[in-house]
Structure 1
Amino acid sequence: MQSRGNCKPGIVIYNTIIDSLCKDRLLQQAINLFSAMKIEGIQPDVVTYTSLVRGFYNSGFREEAKDGLVVEAEAILRHMTDKGVAPDITVLYLMKGITPDVVTYNTLIDGLCKTNRLTLARELFTDMQAHGVTPDVFTYNSLLDCLCKSAQLDEAVALLEDMEDTGIKPDIVTYNILIDSLCKAGQLEDAANFFSNLVIKGLQPSFRTYNILVKGFCKKGLMNEATQLLSKMAKDDCFPNGITYNIIIGGYILSNDFTKALYYRDLMVSKGFEADADTFALFVDLLSSENLSDSSKGLLQKFIK
């Protein structure tokens, strides 16, 4: 195939041969082929590494698997989770005999959570503790995010309490996840309470924290509360950014207060920011509305200009 030039073997063929060599315990040949595929520019995937880890492990070469392939396998797993692809759970069970650490578990749990496989992620969470591996803030944040996206807010709050009970301090990412979920569920009072308690817990709200809560207020039409939060941002030296202004402008548009929307548009531009595609689309949609008065259309046309 290689000599033909126009019929080069791909990842599937390499994986098939490497897996077969590993099963026959022809590890050196498997490693040689593994090196050759990388030279050919073919990137190994989780199947490749699973076969190699299995080959070393079953042949008793645990140190080789631990020192080399497992490290590279974890890198592949992290790459997969970044792409939203669930890692193959086989890798973890192959690595149990060589003590997977918190990074290994976190990589797998995060990948499972990103693909909404919460039940299996929870099983791994229990498994890591049973094997003496202590979850960290990243572990909890992955599970919290998945619970919140699955609209399991009570379970998410319970997990937060468990996190604090075990002595693991939540970070601002933890609270951003919870505040965002509460805002989306319309539980603004609970979201605002979490926000108010951040300073007590020694945490400084980030741009994202403010923007989440501003968006929550705007979604409910609570524009006074949203603009008050805007003022608080400046006082806390966390000045509004383009995202903040676009959220506020969108809130006023949806509240049919076009004068305020234009005011904040002008303020945003003076700060060096621009309207994003969503904000612009809102104005365009309103201009095409038959129920809009001529005076309102005049205001909206100013925005487009």
Structure 2
Amino acid sequence: MWWRSRAKASLLRILIRRPSPIYSIQVCLQTLPLIPPPPPSPAWIRPVDARLPTLRFFSSAQQCEDVGKGSSELGIKTGENSEADESLNRLWKENIDDDDTSDIFADEKFEEAAENECDVVADVDLEQVEKVRSLLVGTSQDSLETRLDQIDVILSAELVALVLQTPDVVPQNLINFFIWAWKSEESVRSSRTVEILVDAVSGSTELSKMDAYKLWDLVKEIGKNRSVLNTSILNQLISLFGRLQKPRAGLEVFNKFSDFGCYPDGNTYCLTIAALGTRSLFNTAWPVCEKMLTSEDLPDGENIGKIITFLCKGKKAKEAHLLYLMARQKEMLLPSSCLDILVRSLSTKDETLQMALELLNNYPKEYVRNANAIFALVIKGLCRAKQPQEAKKLLLRMVHSGPPPGTAVFNYVITALSKGGEMEDAVSLMNLIKERGLLPDIYTYSVIMSGFAEGGLMDEAYQIYREAKKKHSKLSRVTYHILIRGYCKMEEYEKALKCVREMKEDGVQPNSDEYSKLIRSLCVKALDWRTAEKLLEEMKESGLFLRDATRSLISAVKELEEEAKSESVGNEV
């Protein structure tokens, strides 16, 4: 059946897969004897219960013999427990016969592949491996090299690989052992063993910065032979220095690629920039990015997104935009978060606003519906740069195509239009808010009132004020202040005083600023110190304080009037 074929293929791949250098060669030894041969003798049986005999698997025939020899101590002899033997053999045969996995072991191709995979350790004496391992984990005061010289070991690349992957060995001992083996045996001098060393040291929980620098010094020495090192080894070193937050060392590894006859790949650039990011070395990271752009060898979209985010954090939005353009040219899919960060950064400066606007035009449709805040930032930037019409175009695009704008986004544009005196467009946007079923807030009304007041159109400002009162039960102090200031500017003081009274009637107490503005206008322009004095009395009753300069102004106007009267009487006489 098809599932049997697939299971057979999967098992075959597991059993004959060549282990990566970063994994232990012992994996091969551990995985091959997953299904042991049928038990040849009762010595394989270790009864726990008479009804439930269990199997014990051994890694060598010698181990099997040793247990067989000791079986007599457990009361098990050859020829006894024949019933258990038959039961076990029958169980083995049923399992093999019922499952077509037996074909795998009968397949000559499999046997040949398995034999080829294990030939890497066939000549390794495991006792010698354990002997070397015991020296690496030992605590003798003699130097490691001296102790290694004292033991009788037949060195090989396979033995070195097994030893390097010994757990719980301090990195310094691994490095020293490798140096000793490198000097002593030519077969050790290969990319594979160097890669295993770097991986073993990098993965150690006891790794120190000194160990890392010692490893790097060793790799530099090895790199004098340009045929040994490769990109994978150097990438591992860059990653190591990044984890240790030693970005300068990581950058040194990056700059040595050509000296070692290696070529950086997308991961190289990504790891180097990440290492520099641990110390926020934005200016140092950009030249690495430039080399990456020149090579056009980029990492995947997720890592490109991280680099763009990193550059934006360092206020290099323009440079990040170049990286975005390259990724887009290669049709790479970037995370929406990095696009948002890029637009946000570009919209903070007037010189890059157009880039942000173009980026919004290229936003993937699936990102647009959740990009309200990002669109709002670009609109705010356009308003800040005094481009209200461009901001209005983008706002209308949001209205028609999404993401739907809120009242705050409308207010940005209405404010910019009002400050520019484009009141017709400002009012039309306020009406559009109503058409969309939203209620213009007090800020919206106040901004439009301010625009009309600045232009001297107080009747229009007052109409907006009346509409605001109908829609909102209580207005802000700013709304009244706009009217008072506008009427004072137009020297319509009665209307200004009327606004003060309405303000108090509506439960909003005028503050010192409103009174001061009106008193100064009455004194300087209307020379009406009497009304100003009444307002001063109101302030006292309300517990407000008028600055001495304004108070003195009332007295000065009053004295001027009295002097004018005296002169007039004198002239008549």
Question: What band does the TM-score fall into relative to the shorter chain?
Answer: 0.5 to 0.7
What CA RMSD, in Å, does the superposition of the two structures yield over aligned residues? 4.1
Q: Aligned to 2:334, which of 28, 31, 41?
A: 28
CA distance in structure 2 between the partners assigned to 1:140 and 1:38 by the alignment: 29
Question: How far has the Cα of 1:179 moved from its partner?
Answer: 1.1
The one-letter code of the counterpart of 2:362 is: G
On the 8 A contact 1:92/1:100 being kept in 2, the answer is: yes
1:160 maps to which residue?
465
On the 8 A contact 2:519/2:535 being kept in 1, the answer is: yes
Aligned residue-pair number = 246
2:494 maps to which residue?
189
Matches within 5 A, 1:1-305: 28=334, 43-45=348-350, 46-56=353-363, 59-66=365-372, 69-70=374-375, 72-73=377-378, 76=381, 80=384, 86=388, 88-96=391-399, 97-167=402-472, 169-218=474-523, 219-241=525-547, 245-250=548-553, 257=560
Question: How far has the Cα of 1:220 moved from its partner?
Answer: 0.7
Q: 1:234 to 1:128 in 2, by over 3 A?
A: same
The one-letter code of the counterpart of 2:515 is: Y
On the 8 A contact 1:110/1:143 being kept in 2, the answer is: yes
CA distance in structure 2 between the partners assigned to 1:126 and 1:23 by the alignment: 40
CA distance in structure 2 between the partners assigned to 1:257 and 1:60 by the alignment: 73
1:267 maps to which residue?
none
Question: How far has the Cα of 1:165 moved from its partner?
Answer: 2.6
Question: How far has the Cα of 1:111 moved from its partner?
Answer: 1.7
CA distance in structure 2 between the partners assigned to 1:47 and 1:104 by the alignment: 19
CA distance in structure 2 between the partners assigned to 1:64 and 1:169 by the alignment: 34
Question: How far has the Cα of 1:55 moved from its partner?
Answer: 2.1
Secondary structure of 2:391's aligned partner: coil
CA distance in structure 2 between the partners assigned to 1:224 and 1:22 by the alignment: 74
CA distance in structure 2 between the partners assigned to 1:252 and 1:19 by the alignment: 68
Structure with larger RCO (C-alpha < 8 A, sep 6+): 1
On the 8 A contact 2:379/2:394 being kept in 1, the answer is: no
CA distance in structure 1 between the partners assigned to 2:374 and 2:425 by the alignment: 24
Secondary structure of 1:197's aligned partner: helix
Q: 1:84 to 1:249 in 2, by over 3 A?
A: farther
Q: 1:216 to 1:128 in 2, by over 3 A?
A: same
Question: How far has the Cα of 1:176 moved from its partner?
Answer: 0.8
> What percent identity do the matched residue pairs reach?
19
CA distance in structure 1 between the partners assigned to 2:358 and 2:446 by the alignment: 31
CA distance in structure 1 between the partners assigned to 2:398 and 2:378 by the alignment: 10
The one-letter code of the counterpart of 2:411 is: N
Structure 1 unaligned segments of length 5 or more: list them: 4-9, 261-305
Q: 1:110 to 1:101 in 2, by over 3 A?
A: same
CA distance in structure 2 between the partners assigned to 1:200 and 1:37 by the alignment: 48
CA distance in structure 2 between the partners assigned to 1:193 and 1:23 by the alignment: 62
CA distance in structure 1 between the partners assigned to 2:367 and 2:343 by the alignment: 23
Question: How far has the Cα of 1:34 moved from its partner?
Answer: 8.1
Question: How far has the Cα of 1:139 moved from its partner?
Answer: 0.3
Q: 1:252 to 1:72 in 2, by over 3 A?
A: same
Q: 1:253 to 1:53 in 2, by over 3 A?
A: farther
Structure 2 unaligned segments of length 5 or more: list them: 1-285, 288-314, 564-573
Q: Deviation per CA, 1:133-163: give whole Å up to 9, x if none.
A: 2101000000000011111111111111222
Q: Deviation per CA, 1:49-85: give whole Å up to 9, x if none.
A: 32233222x634323423x52354366467x2xx866
Q: 1:36 to 1:178 in 2, by over 3 A?
A: closer
The one-letter code of the counterpart of 1:89 is: K
Question: How far has the Cα of 1:32 moved from its partner?
Answer: 6.0
On the 8 A contact 1:182/1:190 being kept in 2, the answer is: yes
On the 8 A contact 1:182/1:191 being kept in 2, the answer is: yes
1:299 maps to which residue?
none
Q: 1:225 to 1:53 in 2, by over 3 A?
A: same
On the 8 A contact 1:110/1:142 being kept in 2, the answer is: yes
On the 8 A contact 1:74/1:104 being kept in 2, the answer is: yes
1:288 maps to which residue?
none
Greater Rg over alpha carbons, structure: 2
